[in-house]
């Protein structure tokens, strides 16, 4: 398992946190996702054989949020 922290832009409330958490945890290969509004970040533990950082970024972007480079 690997862990990555993504900077998520566009989150403004607890509902946003729940949405980002939901899409990340629904991504195959994700073991855990901790999303924080105060730091606007998502710390994701994932299996690199089953998913990748670009796939995680795409999941967040598909949910309507931006991921900082």
- pTM, 2 dp: 0.92
Using a pLDDT cut of 90, give the percent of the chain over it: 97
> Band of the pLDDT at 69, cuts 50, 70, 90?
low
Distance CA 42, CA 60 (A): 10
Please count the structural domains in the chain.
1
Q: What is the 3-state secondary structure (H, E, C) of the chain?
A: CEEEEEEEECCCCHHHHHHHHHHHHCCCCEEEEEEECCCCEEEEEECCCCCCHHHHHHHHHHCCCEECC
- Which CATH number does the domain housing residue 36 bear? 3.30.70.100
Mean per-residue pLDDT for 7-15? 96
């Amino acid at each position: 398992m690997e862990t990555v922290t993504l900077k998520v832009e566009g989150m403004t409330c607890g509902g946003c946190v729940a949405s980002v958490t939901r899409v990340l945890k629904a991504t195959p290969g994700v073991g855990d996702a901790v999303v924080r509004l105060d730091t606007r970040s998502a710390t994701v533990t994932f299996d690199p054989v089953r998913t990748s950082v670009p796939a995680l970024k795409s999941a967040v972007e598909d949910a309507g949020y931006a991921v900082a480079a």
